[in-house]
Chains A and B, each alone.
Chain A
Amino acid sequence: MKKTSRFFLGIFGLILGIIWIFPFYMILTNSFKTPKGIFASVLSLPTNGTTANYGNSFKALDFMNSLGHSLLITVISVLIIVFFSSMAAYALQRNKSKLSGALLMLFVSAMLIPFQTVMIPLTANFGHVHMLNMWGLMFMYLGFDASLSIFLYQGTMGSIPIAMDESAELEGANRFQIFFKIIFPMLTPITVTVGILNIIAIWNDYLLPSLVLPQNQYTIPLQMFFFFGEYTKQWHLALAGLTLSIIPVILFYIFAQRYIIKGVTDGAVK
């Protein structure tokens, strides 16, 4: 490519990048203003900047608690999903019968059912057995997210030669030992993908937890929605709260960027 056209591409990219960043820039700068400061000028940098908004919204959001719930629910759910769906995919992939083909189709067809179709009977049923809490939620995530995870796992499992299983079997290993000691470690790249996809989906989920969790187990998105209802149009607090709530995501993105992009690509393409 010629030098000049490369230069103009760079400029064009820069402008687009600024447009993309603009919303983040706006909430960050305005989160340091007083209500008067926001009213006087939205577009300027804060003149008499204040950090009080952060302290206040930190308290109003009960931030440490909602962060804790988000972390707990996301981590345990993802561990459950990885553990059980990799096992299920192994059973389906190593069994070449009509039955396993049919079961795989069953899992895949579940992906076509939108959440709204099942949400009312689902929450009614779980309510009957007093499982409308974070533990019930984790079980529901296994049901909703196992399909895609199994699909991804069994696609990769085919490339692991069955001779691996057989030689371990000859040495006297049982099925669980074969899977967890030999097969599962070889699946690490796809485990990272499955983990990343589920972390993003569960961390950001709003509708399901809003129907399932009691208020003392609220996650960040739920607390944020509640907070907006309480403090309508108090943008100085809201913007500080929004900034707080995206910090964990940005940190995650910075540390795991390579894996995130690979995981998201695999999840969509496979």
Chain B
Amino acid sequence: MKNRSLSFWLFLTPTLVALALVVFIPAIMGIFYSFTNWDGLGYTEMLGFKNYITLFHNSGFLAALWFTVKFVIVTVILLNVIGLGLALLVTQKFKGSNLLRTVFFMPNLIGGLILGFIWQFIFTEAFDALGKAFHMAWLTGWLTDGKTGFWGLVIVTVWQMSGYIMIIYIAYLQNIPSEVIEAAEMDGASPWQRFVHITFPMIAPAFTVCMFLTLSNGFKIYDQNLSLTNGGPYKSTEMLAMNIVNTAYSENNFALAEAKALIFFLIVAAISLLQVYYNRKREVDL
């Protein structure tokens, strides 16, 4: 198809128009508004970097950023360790391994909002009952402070996404030729040696994919945050995405919300690009 041909543009126009109207034009408008005192309808003056100064002082943004960074570090590690662990488990041949795969993956299909509500019941009611039955005080009072709220969010995310990460690792594990493993076995390599020297290097590309997914998903989480803790108590579990949404729609401070959203975009984009670049460089090409 030639550039100038009519069909080339007929085929492309609908998606290009949608992309422009839904993503690029609003994004450019948003960036512009973040330098004004926009109230959602119009603006009266240019503020320069005033919104950006405000967001780094006393706007809840830094607290939400710090909370989110801690959350992302913990979930990236747990999701990759548990996801790979589950993948290694269900690729062994034993009765019920296929059923287990199904079970581990299932939470991933249910929306974050519904899952957050389900776990709210588990943390507040079921944990409480378990704590009383087995006299374990640490199981009671969940989601009533920032600390249990944090771990609650971690548990929900790990429970939801481990199956997803598992599926990706499985895809790479199945690509390892069985002759390689068998040859190592013949040479007397222990299961641990086989894992470290063969399996691990051969699934290196899976790390690129999984790190990227868990990192950017972690930063973007909103639904689970809303239904599990709603940022509470006293904003102690408010994550970045929620902080932006609340600044816009609870406090009606649209220009400040746009400034926050732009910083949010820069963080997410930088991490995504860096991660892909870094991991591509060290992948073992076998």
- The residue of chain A having its C-beta at the shortest distance from the C-beta of B102 within the complex is A257
- Interface flags for B21-64 (1: CB within 8 Å of A; 0: not) read 11111110110010000001100000000000000000000000
Complex Cα distance A174/B6, Å? 12
Q: How far is the CA of A85 from the CA of B114 in the complex (A)?
A: 30
Q: Which of A35-43, A46-54, A57-65 contacts B (4 or more CB under 8 A)?
A: A35-43
Q: Which residues of A contact B170 (CB under 8 A)?
A: 265
Assess A206 versus B264: contact at CB under 8 Å? Given A6-B93, A110-B19, A118-B22. Answer: no
CA distance A106 to B94 in the complex (A): 47
Chain B residues lying within 8 Å of A88, measured Cβ to Cβ, are 11-12, 14-16
In the bound complex, CA of A41 to CA of B132 (Å): 11
Q: Which residues of A contact B30 (CB under 8 A)?
A: 117-118, 120-121
Interface flag for A112 (CB, 8 Å): yes
- A112 and B272 contacting across the interface, CB-CB below 8 Å: yes
The distance from the CB of A137 to the nearest CB of chain B, in whole angstroms, is 11
- Contact between A116 and B241 (Cβ–Cβ < 8 Å)? yes
Q: Is the CB of B1 within 8 A of A91?
A: yes
Select B171's contact among A115, A143, A265, beta carbons within 8 Å. Answer: A265
Q: How does the 8 Å CB contact mask read for A25-38 relative to B, with 1 for contact and 0 for none?
A: 01100100000001
Measured CA separation A257–B109 after assembly (Å)? 11
B223 touches A90 (CB 8 A): no
Whether a CB of chain A sits under 8 angstroms from the CB of B150 is no
Whether B3 lies near A117 (C-beta < 8 A) is no
The answer for the CA separation of A264 and B40 in the assembled complex, in Å, is 37
**A contacts with B, residue count (CB < 8 A):** 91
B204 within 8 A of A: no
Known contacts A26-B126, A42-B126, A95-B8: A143-B23 contact under CB 8 Å: yes
Residue of B nearest to A207 (CB): B222
Which of A115, A117, A179, A253 is the most central at the interface, judged by chain B CB atoms within 10 Å of its CB?
A117
Whether A13 and B121, one on each chain, are in contact in the complex, defined by CB atoms closer than 8 angstroms, is no
**Secondary structure of the B contact surface, majority rule:** helix
**In this complex, which of A94, A115, A200, A205 has the most chain B Cβ atoms within 10 angstroms of its Cβ?**
A115
Count class of interface residues, chain B: 35 or more
Q: Does B78 belong to the interface (CB within 8 Å)?
A: no
Decide if B144 is an interface residue (CB 8 Å cutoff).
Answer: no
Whether the pair A121, B125 counts as a contact (CB closer than 8 A) is no
- Whether B96 and A238, one on each chain, are in contact in the complex, defined by CB atoms closer than 8 angstroms, is no
Q: Is A194 an interface residue (CB 8 A)?
A: no
Task: Tell me if A135 is interfacial: C-beta within 8 Å of chain B.
Answer: no
CA distance A91 to B15 in the complex (A): 11
Question: Is B254's CB under 8 angstroms from A120's CB?
Answer: yes
Contact of A255 with B by CB under 8 A: no
A-facing residues in B68-111 (Cβ within 8 Å): 86, 89-90, 92-97, 99-100, 102-111
Given contacts A144-B23, A235-B125, contact A224 B15 (CB under 8 A): no
A90 touches B168 (CB 8 A): no
Q: Is the CB of A106 within 8 A of B129?
A: no
Q: A139 to B15: give the CA distance in the assembly, Å.
A: 10
Q: Are A207 and B11 in contact (CB under 8 A)?
A: no
B interface footprint on A236-270 (CB within 8 Å = 1, 0 otherwise): 00110010011001101100010011001100110
B110 adjacent to A116 (CB under 8 Å): no
- Inter-chain CA distance A10–B98, complex, in Å, is 11
Chain A residue contacts of B41, Cβ below 8 A? 124
User: Closest B-chain residue to A250, C-beta based?
Assistant: B106
- A186 CB to nearest chain B CB (Å): 17
A253-B41 Cα distance, complex, nearest whole Å: 44
Whether, in the assembled complex, A142 has its beta carbon less than 8 Å from a beta carbon of chain B, the answer is yes
Interface residues of B in 164-218 (CB under 8 A from A): 164, 167-168, 170-172, 209, 213
Complex interface: chain B residues within 8 A of A206 (CB): 111-113, 222-223, 226
| Contact (Cβ within 8 A) A253 B109 | yes
| B129 and A120 contact, CB distance less than 8 A | no
Query: B126 touching A43 by the CB < 8 A rule?
Result: yes
A27-B121, A119-B261, A268-B167 given; name 20 further pairs at CB < 8 Å: A13-B90, A13-B94, A16-B89, A26-B126, A38-B125, A43-B129, A97-B3, A112-B269, A117-B264, A118-B26, A125-B21, A144-B22, A175-B10, A204-B223, A206-B111, A207-B245, A228-B117, A238-B121, A242-B114, A265-B168
10 A–B contacts, CB within 8 A, in A order: A16-B104, A17-B104, A20-B103, A23-B122, A24-B118, A27-B121, A87-B12, A88-B15, A120-B254, A142-B22
- Listed in ascending order, the chain A residues whose CB lies under 8 Å from chain B are 1, 6-7, 9-10, 12-14, 16-17, 20-24, 26-27, 30, 38, 41-43, 84-85, 87-88, 90-92, 94-95, 97, 99-100, 103, 106-107, 110, 112-122, 124-125, 139-140, 142-144, 146-147, 150, 174-176, 179, 200, 203-207, 211, 221, 224-225, 228, 235, 238-239, 242, 245-246, 249-250, 252-253, 257, 260-261, 264-265, 268-269
